[in-house]
């Protein structure tokens, strides 16, 4: 049989042909649509794979899709064009098309080689024709079934290849919870040392309290639900699972579980979201000495795991620095989770930070919820406005910083985490410690590496580039052609104290861009906006712009004191560092003092 015949015709065809021959007492042959013999008895058995003679009646049966009977072979008109007629030993022939889908796919024929066989067929011609046509229908049905089985096997192999290729674990069970299919990834996630278990094994023995079996018992399905699994080695791991319970009517016939490592899922989601928006130190605008020193300190601190405390007035960019530190650290591929301790109600802050178990309080999710520390595992958690954290939570946070273990609200077990803590505040935490408003032990835990961010009034050299950045951004946003600030406007900005720092500057520039009538923003537009929020300011840079204050006097005194100490060391290249040491201040503070006007 040719390869084409093997693909087209059903296994067992020869057995059908043998049965027909035995029942009818004649020889039988089958040819495909190309008139190649694919089955046969008697003399036809030796001719399998050969084409029938050109011009024989098989062609007529195929083209007309009707049964053809030749009662007088060699003499009949139908045989005149048959190239095998000279060798033909047949005494009667009868053939009928095998029809599938409205097309003739082959021919089934019975042949008499003796007068006895011929006479028997002639005596019951109608019965033989009916039987032959029924056998052709049977063969067509068997071929269709075989093709369907092949198609299902191919789809099954394709589906299995897909299931084994995906990065989720997949488990299919029957109504009793016995495994029908498990992919290699599922065995890997479940840490089954022996690989994929055989079909028919009880999945409940592997994972007794799994979500799949619980959903099947309740005749429900669920999606993206966190659950725990104890490995054969005793370790607890968390999965994100989805279950489809398979029903036929009201009867459960099986279930499908897909699951993935919860921690890796968090990481992958974070990387997908943050990949295009990752904030780095190159994105922090400013090249003044004070800002460069703050960047240098932060970049150095990023390489290590020690906790960092960012201090600075409101609007100085503490969260931007925290993100830049994270993205410059070895933890950059893991989540950065930000929490504003002042923005979350005190009653909810504990559950937000540490999560809660199912039923921990009224209104709690039935599945529980991971806290920010869990979400930040292997990454960085940023605690903004840490100075506003209630004292009772400070004690719990202290335990976390000491043991790196968290306990959910309503939970009885603790969980180890690995997260770098960056805190930020615009308050004087040391003063709050002295007034017993902030725990001293927590303060020292968080303030391992202090990084002070300079206020805008101490980095006036950055005023022009910051202003131009905001002009460009808001001009694009509004679709206006505003190119920048006039020189007078730039100088005017330097006469203001900027209590709101960069955030206030951005607000002023956005307002000015919206109301700009030309290609440049002038001093008049800025003066009107700043005066509206600072009534005591008149915008003059000759000393009348700012009312003389004790703060100004202190700044000038500090600046002169620093200059005197630097001068005392002459040409020493380390004069500034030595001066900072003698004065008991950091180099960053020294640079800020020097930037005072």
Query: 75: which 2 tokens?
Result: 């003499």
Superfamily of domain 278-452: P-loop containing nucleotide triphosphate hydrolases (3.40.50.300)
Q: Cα(115)–Cα(269) distance, rounded to whole angstroms?
A: 83
Q: Encode pLDDT of 402-454 as tens digits.
A: 998 888 888 777 888 899 999 999 999 999 899 898 999 999 999 999 999 99
Highest mean pLDDT among 8-22, 128-142, 367-381: 128-142
pLDDT at 297: 94
pLDDT at 101: 85
On the question of pLDDT at 143 being above 90, the answer is no
pLDDT at 596: 63
pLDDT at 247: 92
On the question of pLDDT at 597 being above 60, the answer is no
Whole-Å CA distances, 330 to 32, 38, 284, 368: 68, 68, 20, 31
How much is the pTM? 0.59
pLDDT at 97: 94
Q: Cα(169)–Cα(179) distance, rounded to whole angstroms?
A: 13
On the question of pLDDT at 363 being above 80, the answer is no
Reported as half-sphere exposure (CB side, CA atoms, 13 A), residue 325 has a value of 34
Q: At what angle do helices 523-533 and 501-515 cross, to 10 degrees?
A: 130
CATH number of 456-533: 1.10.8.60
Q: Give the mean pLDDT of 62-70.
A: 91
Q: pLDDT band at residue 571, thresholds of 50, 70 and 90?
A: low
On the question of pLDDT at 542 being above 50, the answer is no
Which run of H or E residues covers position 188?
helix 184-189
For the chain, the C-alpha Rg in angstroms (whole number) is: 43
pLDDT at 4: 43
Residue ranges per structural domain of the chain = 3-148, 166-266, 278-452, 456-533, 550-594
Neighbours of 123 (CB within 10 A): 9
Q: At what angle do helices 125-165 and 115-123 cross, to 10 degrees?
A: 90
Q: pLDDT band at residue 545, thresholds of 50, 70 and 90?
A: very low
Q: 546, 541, 538, 509: which is closest to 526 by C-alpha?
A: 509
Q: 193, 219, 223: which is closest to 206 by C-alpha?
A: 193
Tell me the three state secondary structure of residue 241: strand
Share the mean pLDDT of the chain.
Answer: 86
pLDDT at 544: 39
Q: Cα(548)–Cα(545) distance, rounded to whole angstroms?
A: 9
Whole-Å CA distances, 571 to 563, 566, 574, 583: 13, 9, 9, 19
Neighbours of 267 (CB within 10 A): 17
pLDDT at 299: 95
Query: How does strand 169-174 pair with strand 251-261?
Result: antiparallel
Bridge partners (DSSP) of residue 93 are: 70, 111
On the question of pLDDT at 23 being above 90, the answer is no
Cβ proximity of 340 and 380 under 8 Å: no
Q: Give the mean pLDDT of 576-584.
A: 86
pLDDT at 550: 63
Q: Give the mean pLDDT of 151-180.
A: 85
pLDDT at 5: 46
Query: 177: which 2 tokens?
Result: 């919870």
- Measure the CA dihedral 341/346/348/354, to 10°: 60
Q: Which of 80-94, 218-232, 323-337, 376-390 has the lowest mean pLDDT?
A: 80-94
On the question of pLDDT at 547 being above 50, the answer is no
Q: pLDDT band at residue 471, thresholds of 50, 70 and 90?
A: very high
Q: 233, 116, 243: which is closest to 173 by C-alpha?
A: 243
Tell me the three state secondary structure of residue 183: coil
Q: pLDDT band at residue 323, thresholds of 50, 70 and 90?
A: very high
Structure-model confidence comparison of residues 270 and 529, the more confident one: 529
Q: 3-148 architecture in CATH? A: 2-Layer Sandwich (3.30)
pLDDT at 557: 79
Q: Cα(255)–Cα(176) distance, rounded to whole angstroms?
A: 10
CATH number of 166-266: 3.30.450.20
Structure-model confidence comparison of residues 5 and 102, the more confident one: 102
Cβ proximity of 107 and 58 under 8 Å: yes
404: Cα separation from own chain's centroid: 27
Domains 3-148 and 166-266 belong to one CATH topology:
yes
Bridge partners (DSSP) of residue 380 are: 336, 420
């Amino acid at each position: 049989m040719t390869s084409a015949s093997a693909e087209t015709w059903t296994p067992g065809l020869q057995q059908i042909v043998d049965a027909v021959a035995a029942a009818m007492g004649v020889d039988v042959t089958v040819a495909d649509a190309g008139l190649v013999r694919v089955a046969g008895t008697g003399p036809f058995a030796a001719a399998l794979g050969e084409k029938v003679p050109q011009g024989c009646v098989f062609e007529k049966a195929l083209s007309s899709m009707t049964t053809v009977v030749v009662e007088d072979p060699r003499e009949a008109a139908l045989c005149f064009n048959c190239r095998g007629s000279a060798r033909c030993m047949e005494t009667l022939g009868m053939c009928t098309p095998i029809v599938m889908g409205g097309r003739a796919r082959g021919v089934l024929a019975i042949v008499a080689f003796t007068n006895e066989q011929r006479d028997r067929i002639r005596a019951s011609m109608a019965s033989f024709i009916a039987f032959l046509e029924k056998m052709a229908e049977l063969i067509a049905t068997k071929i269709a079934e075989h093709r369907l089985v092949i198609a299902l096997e191919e789809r099954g192999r394709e589906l299995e290849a897909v299931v084994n290729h995906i990065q989720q674990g997949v488990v299919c069970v029957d109504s009793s919870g016995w495994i029908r299919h498990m992919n290699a990834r599922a065995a890997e996630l479940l840490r089954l040392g022996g690989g994929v278990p055989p079909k028919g094994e009880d999945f409940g023995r592997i994972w007794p309290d799994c979500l799949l079996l619980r959903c099947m018992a309740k005749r429900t399905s669920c999606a993206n639900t966190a659950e725990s699994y104890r490995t054969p080695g005793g370790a607890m791991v968390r999965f994100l699972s989805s279950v489809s319970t398979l029903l036929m009517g009201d009867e459960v016939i099986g279930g499908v579980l897909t699951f993935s490592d919860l921690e890796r899922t968090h990481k992958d989601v974070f990387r997908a979201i943050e990949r295009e928006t990752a904030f780095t130190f190159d994105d922090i605008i400013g090249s003044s000495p004070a800002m460069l020193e703050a960047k240098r300190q932060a970049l150095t601190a990023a390489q290590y795991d020690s906790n960092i405390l960012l201090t600075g007035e409101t609007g100085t960019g503490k969260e931007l620095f925290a993100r830049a530190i994270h993205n410059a650290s070895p933890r950059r591929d893991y989540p950065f989770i930000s929490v504003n301790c002042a923005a979350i109600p005190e009653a909810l802050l504990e559950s937000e930070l540490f999560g809660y178990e199912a039923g921990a309080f009224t209104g709690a999710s039935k599945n529980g919820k991971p806290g920010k520390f869990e979400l930040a595992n292997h990454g960085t958690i940023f605690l903004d406005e840490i100075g506003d954290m209630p004292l009772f939570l400070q004690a719990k946070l202290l335990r976390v910083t000491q043991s790196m273990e968290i306990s959910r609200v309503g939970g009885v077990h603790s969980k180890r985490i690995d997260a770098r803590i960056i805190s930020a505040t615009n308050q004087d935490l040391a003063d709050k410690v002295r007034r017993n408003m902030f725990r001293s032990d927590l303060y020292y835990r968080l303030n391992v590496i202090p990084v002070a961010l300079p206020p805008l009034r101490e980095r006036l050299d950055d005023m022009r580039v910051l202003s131009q950045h905001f002009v460009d951004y808001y001009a694009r946003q509004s679709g206006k052609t505003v190119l920048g600030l006039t020189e007078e406007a730039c100088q005017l900005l330097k006469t203001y104290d900027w209590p709101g720092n960069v955030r206030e500057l951005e607000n002023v520039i956005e307002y000015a861009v919206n109301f700009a009538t030309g290609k440049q923003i002038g001093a008049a537009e800025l003066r009107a906006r700043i005066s509206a929020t600072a009534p005591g300011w008149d915008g003059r840079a000759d000393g009348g712009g700012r009312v003389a204050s004790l703060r100004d006097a202190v700044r000038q005194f500090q600046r002169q004191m620093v200059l005197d100490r630097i001068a005392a060391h002459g040409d020493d290249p380390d004069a500034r560092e030595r001066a900072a040491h003698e004065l008991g201040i950091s180099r960053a503070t020294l640079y800020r003092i020097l930037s005072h006007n």
